[in-house]
Amino acid sequence: MMDTMTVGVVGAGTMGRGIAQVAATAGHQVLLLDRDEAVLQEAMAFLARIQDRAVAKGRLSREASDALLSRIKTTQEVAALAPCGLVIEAIIERADIKSQLFSDLEAVLSEDAILASNTSSLSVTALAAGLQHPARFCGLHFFNPAPLMALVEVVPALQTRAGLTAEMSVLMQQWGKRPALAKDTPGFIVNRVARPFYGEAIRILEEGIADAATIDWAMTALGGFKMGPFALMDLIGNDINYAVTESVWTAFHYDPRYRPSFSQKRNVDAGWFGRKSGKGWFDHSEGAPAPTVREDKELGQIILWRILVMLINEAADAVFWGVASAEDVDRAMQGGVNYPKGLLKWGEEVGVDRCVKELDALRDLYGEDRYRCSPYLRTRAAQGRGLF
């Protein structure tokens, strides 16, 4: 039943059209809903260009490409989604708008149809609370671009019926994805665990230890990350990255571990969002010179180790608080943000005891709760055990 059902996707923006492509590639008939006809037309034109490129590169035959596109139909009417067995919303991150959409969907869908949200920051439980049938609701958080990124965070609400997340995990595997089960907590796995990649990098910059280009060099050349934190913030958009950090910080009742940076806020205030505005941490204007990098390996290792130990600590804390299993945390960080290794595996490689000592040293130096060591790390180090 699952592999033959019609899938509805609401929102034809970058994420929605990507999810529609993933479902159609897996063989489903897909109904792509958006209120704006121009957005729907652009989405289909974009998907056609993607398929043309795949055909030109020999990855797909013209017949297969045409068949895939024919499985995606567009609509502006919620009622058209009535035949769907699963509907995934990928619209604006506003709880009131999402709740109204789910109310409209429940009026036309069968009682056994599954509803899912692609939210990255809202409470899945709170969204489910507004439904007539909350047991059929869960979070399916894809990562951008959806056709290329392997991870999907599967997030049950408190009200989600037993077995639904397992069914969704199997379905995501059938779609070629790597599902990771996450508790409904702020940021789920990735947006929580990844905060130090940005926050600690900015802290190092603010302290004058190194400039943005040198920090990025340390993380890529020495750490093996595909992008440095400042280049990645400029790609994501400082406005978006700052908003996610502020959202997680607020949701965790202003825990200093997630405190946003004044420096990034000033970039946002100035309209220095990154690539899309032409300037962010770096100058992206045409003809701008490449920033100078200080390729000092000793300094680079200090930078890498400080950011890495904070990431390992955050990953360990996610396990400690039951956000996800150790296996799912590592799967999420590799599949969702392309980290070179799972953070907990990395922690084992560098030494759990070494991580604890470094975190304690940072807390002693700065006197800030930001650097508190996760009980999971400390307990495992005391027991001489690994992190799995």
- The active-site residue, picked from 89, 106, 153, 358, is 153
Q: Is 267 a catalytic residue?
A: no
How far apart are the C-alpha atoms of 235 and 33, rounded to whole Å? 28
DSSP state of 220: I
Q: Is 277 a catalytic residue?
A: no
In 3D space, the residue among 153, 169, 166, 160 whose CA is nearest the CA of residue 323 turns out to be 153
Q: Is 120 a catalytic residue?
A: yes
Question: Angle 38-40-45 (CA atoms, 0-180°, nearest 5)?
Answer: 95
Neighbour order of strands in the sheet with 86-89: 72-75, 30-33, 7-10, 86-89, 114-117, 137-142, 151-156, 178-181
How far apart are the C-alpha atoms of 239 and 213, rounded to whole Å? 20
Q: Is 118 a catalytic residue?
A: no
Token readout for 71 is 């499985």
- The active-site residue, picked from 28, 118, 123, 141, is 141
- The active-site residue, picked from 117, 118, 120, 261, is 120
- The active-site residue, picked from 191, 241, 247, 374, is 191
> Dmax of the chain from CA atoms?
64
How far apart are the C-alpha atoms of 183 and 185, rounded to whole Å? 6
Task: List, by residue number, the catalytic residues.
Answer: 120, 141, 153, 191
